[in-house]
Amino acid sequence: MGKQKKIRERKERKPARKRSAVKQHKLYKIEGDNISRLRKSCPKCGSGVFLAEHKDRFSCGKCSYTEFKKK
């Protein structure tokens, strides 16, 4: 007898999660002629990269720098 090939069943894939980009108007506050940043910037990456704010920490999505919030 020859070897029999196993028949695999196709797995159903989960639908891809839709990711939305952060809106630029949520990152800055404009008052007259002054522009202020609402989030911290990453000390490693520079002023162009913002830190994401979680409930217990700030983290950079680019270089994975993390600062923990003090209680």
pLDDT tens by residue, 12-58:
888 988 888 878 888 899 999 999 999 999 999 998 899 999 999 99
Tokens 């196993």 belong to: 6
**d(C-alpha 65, C-alpha 13), whole Å:** 33
Secondary structure class of 64 (helix, strand, coil): coil
Work out how many domains the chain is built from and give that number: 1
Residue 60: the pLDDT is 95
Q: How many residues does the chain have?
A: 71
Judge whether 45 lies within some domain. Answer: yes
Judge whether 58 lies within some domain. Answer: yes
Residue 31: the pLDDT is 93
Using a cut of 0.75, tell me whether the model's pTM lies above it.
no
Judge whether 17 lies within some domain. Answer: no
Give the range among 3-7, 47-51, 63-67 with minimum mean pLDDT.
3-7
Judge whether 5 lies within some domain. Answer: no
Residue 1, pLDDT above cutoff 70: no
How many C-alpha atoms does 69 have within 13 Å on its Cβ side? 11
* Residue at 34: amino acid letter: N
